[in-house]
Amino acid sequence: MKRALTLLGLVACLSAGAQPQASAVSPPSPSAAPARAAGMPGAQQFTLRNGMQLIVQPDRRAPTAVHMVWVRVGAMDEVDGTSGVAHVLEHMMFKGSKAVPPGEFSRRVAALGGLENAFTSWDYTGYYQQIPAARLEDVMKLEADRFAHNQWPDAEFKKEIEVVKEERRMRTEDQPRALLMEQLYAASFIASPYHRPIVGWMSDLDAMTPEDVRQFHRQWYVPGNAVVVVAGDVDVSRVRAWAEKYYGSIPARAVPARKPRTEPAQRGLRRIDVKAPAEQSYVALAFHVPRIRSVDAMTGEDRDALSLLVLSAVLSGYDGARLERALAQGAQRVADSADSSASVLGRGPGLFLLTGVPAAGKTAQDVEQALRAEVARVARDGVDPAELERVKTQWMASNVYERDSLQNQAQQLGSYWVLGMPLDAEERLLAQLRGVTPDQVRAVAAKYFGDDALTIATLRPQPMTGQPRPRPAPAAGGVLH
């Protein structure tokens, strides 16, 4: 499968950016000038009177608009015993307010000619509608209402928690590789909340109460912890007036303090086996690596994280990249597929993954050794400048194509806001990436791939028995990304 070499695609895996501190919100000066982005022409950022942020990106090529609300809260802000509550709240946000009965929100958006959904990650929760630009005010009013006044009877929670449990079964427990990745993260991280799954542990979902969800909403859904992002055929001053009317009137409250929960240095290789019904084995190697903390004053670790992004692209960022050529092609191939990823953009620690599926007659250990050998080859021999230039050229082209999509424009602006980065963060990072040298890629390949920072998870296939369980129809509303 051809891979899109874009930073936005990586932001879905988030891992850089400063954590916000608790603070009282002060109304901005009426004369405060909006922030402007060099990399996203026309994008402007404002602070509403209650501290909520607004980002507007005009794009008049079609009479449509995308409206998003991003809340800087996700699974990493949960505490033990309530894992999954951020995602459950995302589902319950579709269940009404005092003014909008359960199920009515989605019906009203559809009646406006719109599409809508939501998503949860470790680092954030987001809600969006894609609508005719003329109906933007209507969805802003609806979204502001449920942000401030989410309300539903216990009976709605009891039904929806079963939907979330089934989602966990379908997407994790019945998917051997997803189950392995859940176990890999749990083993790789000790103090970091990234060790908990976004969907939550089943026992926590079983024990979750309506009050757990309501309390999470009261705690984190405050104006100073959220941003409204609008992209499309819109007038900036009109959008700002609507935002002040519907969102700015929500009472200001302090953003709760966040504890650092710093991941301690790993002190030796960790290895786990995961047994599950499957047809093929699978192996995943996770290395602790630095994350990008700033695009303004980059440290050595920031530059290393950028170089690791480039290394991942060299290994598997395009058709026929190094891992595919070395492991999955030819008569002596050891893998049916092999891949890499560098999750270095997000609020939590970074992780570099190497994964592979053994070919017929080969073992997971064969693939493990071959994956590490390719990284060692880069550390020993480096990369050809032409190979590096190909990766950079594809990155730049993909970034241009992405801007054709209103959804991608809004997604990019919201994602970087979550990380505490400026509107033009993508442009700044791309400029930094253009300067990454072969020597820098070689250096990180030699620096970060030893045993002491490594966790290896191997899927041990078990017999496939029984018939698949019947599945209920999917529920409207939240989606876990």
- C-alpha 299/C-alpha 301 separation (Å) is 5
pLDDT given for residue 120 in this prediction:
98
Phi first, then psi: what are they for 31, rounded to 5°? -95, 5
Q: Do domains 21-259 and 270-462 have the same CATH topology?
A: yes
Give the confidence band of 214 by pLDDT, cuts at 50, 70, 90: very high
Choose the CATH number for 21-259 among 3.30.830.10, 3.30.70.1450, 1.10.357.140, 2.70.98.10: 3.30.830.10
The two tokens of residue 416 are 């970087």
> For the domain 270-462, what is the CATH code?
3.30.830.10
Q: What pTM, to 2 d.p., does this model score? A: 0.89
What's the one-letter identity of residue 337?
S
- C-alpha 326/C-alpha 433 separation (Å) is 25
- C-alpha 413/C-alpha 422 separation (Å) is 9
In 3-state terms, what secondary structure has residue 21? coil
- C-alpha 173/C-alpha 175 separation (Å) is 6
- C-alpha 196/C-alpha 189 separation (Å) is 9
Give the confidence band of 21 by pLDDT, cuts at 50, 70, 90: very low
pLDDT digits (tens, 9 = 90+) for 100-118: 999 999 999 999 999 999 9
pLDDT given for residue 5 in this prediction:
39
- C-alpha 288/C-alpha 369 separation (Å) is 18
Taking 90 as the threshold, does the pLDDT of residue 204 lie above it? yes
Strand order in the sheet with 64-71: 35-36, 44-47, 53-58, 226-232, 64-71, 125-132, 115-120, 479-480
Q: Do 73 and 125 contact (CB within 8 A), yes or no?
A: yes
Taking 60 as the threshold, does the pLDDT of residue 63 lie above it? yes
| Sequence-ordered list of residues with C-beta below 8 angstroms from that of 31, at least 6 positions apart, any chain | none
Q: Do 164 and 88 contact (CB within 8 A), yes or no?
A: yes
Q: For the residues of 371-403, what is the DSSP string, one character each?
A: HHHHHHHHHHH---HHHHHHHHHHHHHHHHHHT
Lowest mean pLDDT among 156-165, 230-239, 294-303: 294-303
- C-alpha 414/C-alpha 418 separation (Å) is 6
Q: Do 11 and 417 contact (CB within 8 A), yes or no?
A: no
Lowest mean pLDDT among 208-212, 226-230, 281-285, 389-393: 389-393
pLDDT given for residue 466 in this prediction:
63
Give the burial class of 283: count Cβ atoms within 10 A of its Cβ; 0-12 exposed, 13-18 middle, 19 or more buried.
buried
Taking 90 as the threshold, does the pLDDT of residue 234 lie above it? yes
CA atoms within 13 A on the CB side of 10: 33
Q: Could you identify the residue written with the tokens 């969102």?
A: 247
Mean pLDDT, the chain, as a whole number? 90
- C-alpha 13/C-alpha 17 separation (Å) is 13
pLDDT given for residue 37 in this prediction:
41
Which run of H or of E encompasses 287? strand 282-289
Q: What is the mean pLDDT of residues 256-275?
A: 96
Lowest mean pLDDT among 10-24, 229-243, 252-266, 280-294: 10-24
Active site residues: 90
- C-alpha 425/C-alpha 57 separation (Å) is 15
Polymer length in residues for the chain: 481
Nearest partner of 100 among 154, 159, 155, 141, judged by Cα: 141
Nearest partner of 126 among 54, 55, 53, 71, judged by Cα: 71
Q: Specify the pairing of strand 64-71 against strand 226-232.
A: antiparallel
- C-alpha 125/C-alpha 99 separation (Å) is 23
Q: Where are the domains of the chain?
A: 21-259, 270-462
Lowest mean pLDDT among 15-24, 76-85, 122-131, 402-411: 15-24
What's the one-letter identity of residue 343?
S
Taking 80 as the threshold, does the pLDDT of residue 331 lie above it? yes
Bridge partners for 423 per DSSP? none
Q: For the residues of 112-162, what is the DSSP string, one character each?
A: TT-EEEEEE-SS-EEEEEEEEGGGHHHHHHHHHHHHHHB---HHHHHHHHH
Question: How many percent of the chain have pLDDT more than 90?
Answer: 83
261 dihedral zone (left: phi>0; alpha: psi -120 to 50; beta): left
Q: For the residues of 213-273, what is the DSSP string, one character each?
A: HHHHHHHH--GGGEEEEEEES--HHHHHHHHHHHTTTSPP-PPPP----PPPPP-S-EEEE
Nearest partner of 418 among 12, 57, 60, judged by Cα: 12
- Residue with more model confidence, 464 or 276: 276
The two tokens of residue 396 are 């730049």
Taking 90 as the threshold, does the pLDDT of residue 15 lie above it? no
pLDDT digits (tens, 9 = 90+) for 332-345: 999 999 999 999 99
- C-alpha 288/C-alpha 352 separation (Å) is 7
Give the confidence band of 395 by pLDDT, cuts at 50, 70, 90: confident
Give the burial class of 385: count Cβ atoms within 10 A of its Cβ; 0-12 exposed, 13-18 middle, 19 or more buried.
exposed
pLDDT digits (tens, 9 = 90+) for 401-430: 787 899 999 999 999 999 999 999 999 999
